[in-house]
Structure 1
């Protein structure tokens, strides 16, 4: 009697690991826009076989992080100022709506979480060991984590898990643009600490109109900076 080969969970786990590793490097700018993802080369880079790696690339393609070009293979998705404008506009629409709901319904627990996340963000430098040499700085991954936590905390009382999920997906796309803007240009905006504190204060004062205006201004200032650093040819 011939025994059929058993199916193990190893392959899906490797595929998930490959997916997360490649996506993290795309967000960090380590894999640059338009870069070709040669299957054998990235399999060696991440120490994962070609079969789970191909599955991961197909998933990333479906999510928009990678492009699959006919007869040419996989490439890191490019940057587009039009996409960036749409991204910022959509973030303002969704996050101001979620923020209004959080301000209306959030209690003490929501306030405490927002205050704590802002405090942690303020105590985290955006750059690792910054010095006077403009060519010598490295992004601090802990700052990005704290920044993400702060914005998620503000929206966490909106009462809609789907809304939070959509906002998180848009945040991830914005992270990539920010990281690449620092990588490709010496000019940088810094950690925008004052803007974050002003948004938090308006939320704690339950001033939804002011908080939403400040949040929108915060994202539009980021858009202006990214346009200067990544898309110098784009007109306002």
Structure 2
């Protein structure tokens, strides 16, 4: 029983540390290409080495951290080239999954989209959508919406890849928010994508989703350029 309790505590510490590090990496508080020293992180979070290693291993499977023999754990670099490579992979896999979902989706799938869309449109994104007390809730409903669209895809592996690409793109989305360009129509974009999917208009739904992703990527590129020039500004 004591061993079981210790294992549960270790998992809890690893999960809480993972969540904290993930937020800081996505928000850019821990810079891209930064080395992540296990002992320093253990001291900072006041936990043992094992929970830190587990948290970093989880982050590596999510595409946010890399592990090499010589450098240990490092935050994945960001670049314009990587952004667009990630974007194109995301577009192609999401298009495949969405087309399959529209072809195979039943009434339960439609209901998942309707519920997810309602929750997203009703959920106000905090100005700081990483560290605000309500940020976790908004991030969850945002991801749930995109997952619901694809949830009737016949391949669980493709769906997992799409979820991972979503997580990797979150860091670039936050880089995009550093530029002054506003994007007031994003709620309407979500609404239109959902309606096209439910109406079984596969080509239109894929076109709208691709455009939705492209706008995010273009703003992220602006953020990367501003970041490199040292002229980053805060924005919604």
TM-score range (shorter-chain normalised) is: 0.7 to 0.9
Structure 2: runs of 5+ lacking an equivalent: 230-236
Stretch of structure 1 that moved more, 18-27 or 90-99: 18-27
Number of residue pairs aligned between Structure 1 and Structure 2 = 222
The alpha-carbon deviation at position 190 of structure 1 amounts to 4.7
* Residues 221-236 of structure 1: pairs in structure 2 closer than 5 A: 221-232=215-226
Q: 1:11 to 1:160 in 2, by over 3 A?
A: same
TM-score, normalised to structure 1, is 0.79
Match of 2:146?
151
The alpha-carbon deviation at position 37 of structure 1 amounts to 2.5
Stretch of structure 1 that moved more, 80-89 or 66-75: 66-75
**Higher share of residues assigned helix:** 2
Match of 1:103?
102
Q: 1:125 to 1:161 in 2, by over 3 A?
A: same
The alpha-carbon deviation at position 58 of structure 1 amounts to 5.2
Look up the SS of the partner of 1:109 in the other structure: helix
Separation of aligned partners in 2, 1:225 and 1:49 = 39
Match of 2:191?
197
Does the 8 Å contact 1:11/1:52 carry over to 2?
no
Tell me, yes or no, if structure 1 residue 181 matches structure 2 residue 180: no
Match of 1:119?
118
Separation of aligned partners in 1, 2:128 and 2:18 = 30
Look up the SS of the partner of 1:231 in the other structure: helix
Aligned CA-pair RMSD:
3.1
Q: 1:55 to 1:99 in 2, by over 3 A?
A: closer
Q: 1:62 to 1:222 in 2, by over 3 A?
A: closer
The alpha-carbon deviation at position 61 of structure 1 amounts to 4.6
Match of 2:7?
9
What are the Cα deviations for residues 16-67 of structure 1, in whole angstroms up to 9, with x where unaligned?
5544442343234332223343333311232211244245435545654234
Stretch of structure 1 that moved more, 188-197 or 172-181: 188-197
Match of 1:211?
205
Separation of aligned partners in 2, 1:151 and 1:221 = 16
Larger Rg: 1
